[in-house]
Structure formats: structure tokens, C-alpha cells
Homo-oligomer: A and B are copies of this chain.
């Protein structure tokens, strides 16, 4: 359909063989284009119509690819990318006490955080992830590195009941949190959330303080919750309540809560989460590898809970691969629900994009291809033999494709990956630096 009006200029027109806009749900559009002006999506329309209506400064044509929103990694500890595979296949306490914590104690600081973040950003971009929910120390450094690379993130402001390299006392945690929040409060790309570590490492007073401040500042609370059966039994002993009940008593069970893991849930708790608008981040590969338990992802989704997907950190997963995580979420949900219709391809892909966006409080701005939203977009090449024949595009995306098929990435309309090439990141230097850290870590903690 052409129009009589004269063509409108726009910055970028991306034409694709297939477009998966996420909204409307389950739709695949053939031969469509997305017009972008500045950081925003202007229109999604058939290619022929787009060519008649727009005069773009630049056109990108990907006839063999799916154009879709960037993946939102809703739970990660990106500086730990430098600890990828530092210790595996161990009981949790041995893994923490003899490996992760001693190594962290030896290396943690702004340099480790910045270098780990940079490696992670490169990995995320090459894997089609355009937004991360970050949970680690030194959020000031994280935010600066994300901003430098034009990467969208929600940066966690840590609160934990013991001294770390980031802060020593509760007052100091809150002071530093306030500083980081103030610095980034009006940024287009970087947001902040409180990131109390877990119910078992944060006392009631600190949770109450977090609730008050998160209400005041209108920011999310990003929390590991109900990760293991041990966490539940310990909470029952210490507080006489399951963690979610305790959080409810403290006023935190609401739509600002980003509850990560959630492998231990009663039907009543699932119902409570749905009723209160709690966001659940499912990290299936971390839960499997650490033998944490099985998140009832399908039951949560069917109860109406907003479901998001996260990779967790590279010390436990061991990658930042949202394609693999999405596939694992989709297939694991079926086995856990004993129902092969659980988390179908479209539903799981929604969780990995719009579900994450909603969880991070960014549902109005990212997570789908809709006019007015930020142009956080990726192209996934389906022309290789491993994704042939293409009977169904959504099936190929979720069950057969992989992150290395991501050809192009834009964040806020800016190109970040073009035909597999990272812009503005020196990959050779990045790998050399990772190798350098490998030697440093081996020296600092010879048991590694």
C-alpha cells in the first residue's frame, strides 16, 4: 500500500525476511521493515510500504534473518565473567568457601569489575542481548562501563549484612546506593534497583529501609529468593517464616520485586506472586547446574505471573547465552509441568524479551517492536543449514537457533554489532586481557 504523502526521512530502515514483534503475541510477519529515528522505533510495516513512505539515511537489508527485540538478561553478575569455569561440579559450600569467595577476595575492585563487565558486554552483544539486570559490587563502575558502551542496564545497588570491598556498614551501603542512584537518575540507558543479596544475608531493618527507599525513588528490588530448599528451612528456623512470607511481612511482595530463582514455591505462593504483580526471573541453567531445584515456570506463567529469564553469572552457568537459556527454559518447563504444551516457543520468547523488560520496570520502553519504543533490535540469521528447513520461524528461533547466528544488534538505534563485527570493542585486546586475568587469578589463588 503506498501513500500520497511525500516520503518522510528517518535515520534507519531495517528490512528483514521475518519480523517477530513479540506484541502481538506469537506473530511472525514476512518481509517487513522497521523504521528508526534517533533512539526510537517509528514504524513496523511491509517492506514495500516502508520504501514508499520513508526516506532513510541508511537501509539495512537482511532477507534471511528474523528481526526481533533484543534479549533482556534479567539476572546476571557480569564482572564474574572473568571467573567463567573457575570451579565447577562441586558442592555449593565448597564451591563458595574454597573457590569463589577466596578468588573474589583476592581480585575484587574497580579494575576487576570494569574488565569483567567489558568482556561480558562483548559476549552479550555477540549473543543478541541488549539489556542486563546487573547484580554485583561496584555499581558505580558497572554503570560507567555500560554507559561507555551504550548498553542498556539496570544496575543493582548492593545491600548485604557484612562488610565487603564496596561498603562496610549498613549506613555505608545505603549512602553509596544513594550516590549511585543520584548520579544516574535521569539517564536514558542506565537505571538502578536495590539489590539486597538474599533473604538470608539481609536483616529485617535493612529490608524495611529498602522498602521505604524503593517506594520513594520508585525503583525495583532485585533479590535472589527461594533459590534452594536449604534457604527455606533456614528461614523457618531463624524467622519462623518462609522467605516470601517474611518479605510480605516487610512489605516487599509487590510489583517492584524482581524475585530471582524461585525454585521452591507452594501453590499459595504462586497465587500470591500473581496477585501482587511480583516479577519472577527464571534462571534454569544455573538452577540445574547448582542442583538448586526446579522453578515451576509454567505454573507461574499460567497463574499470570510476569516471567523473565536470566543467565545468572558465568561462575555458575557458565555463559551469558540468552538463546541457550531460553531454549532450556522452554524444554525444562515441559518436563517440570509434565506437559509438552508448557511454555511454548512464543511464550518463552516473550519471557526473554518483554517479560524481562516489564520485570525491570522498562516494559513501556523496550521488549517489543512497537512504534515509540526504543530501537533495541537484533537480527538472527536463519539461512544456515542447522536451521533448515524453516517450517515455523518461532520454532527455529527457540529450539534450533543459537546466539552465534545473531548478525546485527542495535541499542537505542545505535549499531553495536554489524554482520558479526563488534563496533568500538577491540576483541583481540579483550581476549588478551582475559588471559592476563587468568594468570593473575592463578597467582593470587593457586588452588584455581
Contact = CB atoms under 8 A, between A and B. Distances in A.
A106 to B, nearest CB: 14
Contacts of A85: 390-392, 395-396, 399-400
Contacts of A341: 89-91
A204 B288 CA distance: 40
Interface residues of A, number: 71
B291 A338 contact: yes
A208 interface: no
Instruction: Name the residue among A90, A335, A337 with the largest chain B CB count within 10 angstroms.
Output: A335
Nearest to A319: B400
A202 interface: no
Nearest to A439: B389
A261 interface: no
Q: Tell me which of A291, A402, A441 has the highest count of chain B C-beta atoms within 10 A of its own C-beta.
A: A291
A249 interface: no
Q: How many copies does the complex hold?
A: 2
Given A84-B400, A288-B334, A291-B337, A395 B92 contact: no
A128 B69 CA distance: 31
Given A318-B400, A319-B386, A404-B402, A332 B91 contact: no
Nearest to A323: B402
Interface in A86-133: 86, 88-92, 95, 119, 122-123, 126-127
User: Of residues A86, A88, A290, which shows the largest number of chain B Cβ atoms within 10 Å of its Cβ?
Assistant: A88
Contact of A388 (B90, B291, B435, B442): B435
A186 interface: no
A338 B384 CA distance: 38
B431 A331 contact: no
A335 B389 contact: no
A425 to B, nearest CB: 9
19 contacts: A82-B389, A84-B387, A84-B400, A85-B390, A86-B391, A88-B344, A89-B340, A89-B344, A95-B340, A122-B385, A291-B340, A314-B400, A319-B386, A324-B324, A328-B328, A385-B431, A388-B435, A389-B435, A390-B435
Interface of A: 82-86, 88-92, 95, 119, 122-123, 126-127, 285, 287-294, 314, 317-319, 321, 324, 328, 330-332, 334-335, 337-342, 344-345, 383-392, 395-396, 399-400, 402, 404, 427, 430-431, 434-435, 437-438, 441-442, 448
